[in-house]
Amino acid sequence: VPTVQTLNLLIAGAAQHGDLTTAGKWFQRGVTAGIQPDVNTFNTLINAAAKKGDLIAAEIWYEKAILTKGFKSDDVTFVTLIRAAARKSDLRSAEHWFQQAEQEKVSVTVSTFNAVIAAAARTGDLAAAEEWFHRAEKAGVTPNVVTYTTIINAAARGGNSTSAERWYERALAMGLEPNIVTFTSLINAAV
């Protein structure tokens, strides 16, 4: 007897190969067979669309999810949608999905904030990245090395090496250990 776990594995397999069409077909077959999709089913489909850079398809899968009886979004749902928006350099959509998470009373994490900061960084909008950093702090979320590195990247994309260095120093002062991405972002800020 097929289960939702089996369905999720089939969808994930297709998604890992970048085949959103086959993932969608497996979803339809599962529903036709009477399998009730769960949050993991939809998160996998949303992620598959996001990885293909298809924000619209990711949003459509979210819309299908919320129409499904018993579906409850989680942080993974929204981090994935926000990252899909970030890949499109669409800060407005990223902020929309963050607000949607808050409206649905989903507990946001450092990953949720990092995803919005990344959307700001993709556009070189250092002010927006810093604003989201401060929102995270106000929410009691502890920034990590990814948070700082992403802001350094926003400064680099905006051509602001002074701010990149300042954020690097702040990360060190917090006891965080920079990684290769941090150093690459610093180099990009300097050139």
pLDDT tens digits for range 27-48: 999 999 999 999 999 999 999 9
φ, ψ (nearest 5 deg) of residue 54: -105, 85
Rounded Cα–Cα distance for residues 143 and 146 (Å) = 8
DSSP for residue 68: S
pLDDT tens digits for range 115-173: 999 999 999 899 999 999 999 999 999 999 999 999 999 999 999 999 999 999 999 99
CB atoms within 10 A of CB 65: 20
pLDDT tens digits for range 85-124: 999 999 999 999 999 999 999 999 999 999 999 999 999 8
List % helix, strand, coil for the chain (3-state, nearest 5).
75, 0, 25
Query: Domains, the chain, ranges and CATH?
Result: 1-72 (no CATH), 73-191 (1.25.40.10)
